[in-house]
Amino acid sequence: MQSRRTGNNPGLKRIFGPAAETGVLTLSAIRQRAQRQLSKFDAEAREELKQLNIDIPPGISLVSCPHCQLTLGSDHPQSAALLQWLTGNTAIAKRFKEVEVLFEMVRATEAPGQMFAAESCFHIGLTRAGPVAYFQDHRCTSSS
């Protein structure tokens, strides 16, 4: 298991709690935090979508690419309502970004020194079986 020295970094202590206080942050601690935040994002998004009468299934794909705003990553029968929900929704965009940053930390820790494609986009899929988070390389089609 890989670990990284965290020292007395108050930001990491705030995010990772006791795992960061020892000065060593393990990959499993980062993964656990990323999964917890993904689950929290999923629950909050589902609650907001329920209030808008937007159903899952079908699954909903949300994507964030470099230099692009958060948007839908695939077609959905209620795409117009979903896009309206995303437009100006700074709270959901912030929560999405928090999850993305944690998964970036996992990816960077798993592959130290590896360069990732500039077109690497982060996806969260909201599915009947639960949330899915992943990176995929492709060009952004919308502008921020």
Q: What is the 3-state secondary structure (H, E, C) of the chain?
A: CCEEECCCCHHHHHHHCHHHHCCEEEHHHHHHHHHHHHHHHHHHHHHHHHHCCCCCCCCEEEEECCCCCCEECCCCCCHHHHHHHHCCCHHHHHHHHHHHHHHHHHHHHHCCCCCCCCCEEEEEEEECCEEEEEEEECCCCCCC
Q: What is the mean pLDDT of residues 29-42?
A: 95
Whether 130 is in a domain gets the answer yes
pTM for the structure as a whole: 0.79
Q: What is the pLDDT of residues 15-25, one digit of tens each?
A: 555 655 566 67
Whether 88 is in a domain gets the answer yes
Whether 35 is in a domain gets the answer yes
pLDDT of residue 15: 57
Domain count, the chain: 1
**Is the pLDDT confidence value at 103 over 60?**
yes
Counted residue by residue, the chain has a size of 144
Whether 144 is in a domain gets the answer no
Whether 12 is in a domain gets the answer yes
Report CA-CA distances (Å) from 61 to 13, 58, 131: 31, 10, 10
**Is the pLDDT confidence value at 47 over 70?**
yes
Q: Which domain holds residue 10?
A: 3-137
Whether 24 is in a domain gets the answer yes
